[in-house]
Structure formats: C-alpha cells, structure tokens
Amino acid sequence: GQSLEQPSEVTAVEGAIVQINCTYQTSGFYGLSWYQQHDGGAPTFLSYNGLDGLEETGRFSSFLSRSDSYGYLLLQELQMKDSASYFCAADTGGFKTIFGAGTRLFVKA
C-alpha cells in the first residue's frame, strides 16, 4: 500500500532547531509537501520539494532524497507559535496527494 511515516510527537525548547522526518512508500511520486495545522484550524502550505535537495523559506527548510524515499522539515529558531501539527504529503500524480499522519510539535519555554 501507499504510506507516509512520520513521528507522532516531537518536543523542543524555544530557540532550538527541530527536524521532522518523513519516509514515504508510494506507487508514483512527484514531490513532497509540508503543511502546518494549528488545533482547530485548516492546514497551511509550508513548502514543496520536487527535486532532491534543500529548499529554504525563512526559518523553515525542507529536504528531499528521492533515492532514500525520505524527506524532512527543519524548523529553526523555534517559537511558541510553532507549536502545531506538521504533515508531510506525497504528490503521487493525477491530483492524488497522500498525507502522513502528522507530527505534533510541542515548543516549550
């Protein structure tokens, strides 16, 4: 079957760096996206990796290795407002996107 695996929870302190990993197994693959979702809210798009390598957007960076079927989201200079759930999502083609189960990030003071 098709699946994405990511840790269920991560805890870090304010100002620190945290990495959320995502491994995927899909029949087709065009790219990996990351979304942030605060409790009670809708997901918001953070980044997309279509090619191998690192994409940087401010405090957030995302990495993809197609050969390893692996990616990660890196959050730097953590802030309390970064406490949320983070989902990786695989674009499998033809408008088919599969979401991981999400990683709940807790940022402590």
Partner 1 sequence: GAVVSQHPSWVICKSGTSVKIECRSLDFQATTMFWYRQFPKQSLMLMATSNEGSKATYEQGVEKDKFLINHASLTLSTLTVTSAHPEDSSFYICSVTGADYGYTFGSGTRLTVV
End-to-end Cα distance, the chain: 40
Asked if residue 54 binds partner 1 (CB under 8 A), the reply is: no
The interface region with partner 1, picked from 14-22, 42-50, 59-67, 70-78 by CB under 8 A, is 42-50
Q: Which residue type sits at 75? A: L
C-alpha gyration radius of the chain:
13
For partner 1, the binding residues in 70-99 under the rule CB under 8 A are: 87, 95-97, 99
Q: Which residue type sits at 20? A: I
Task: Give the interface with partner 1 as residue ranges (CB under 8 A).
Answer: 31, 33, 35, 40-45, 48, 50, 87, 95-97, 99-102, 104
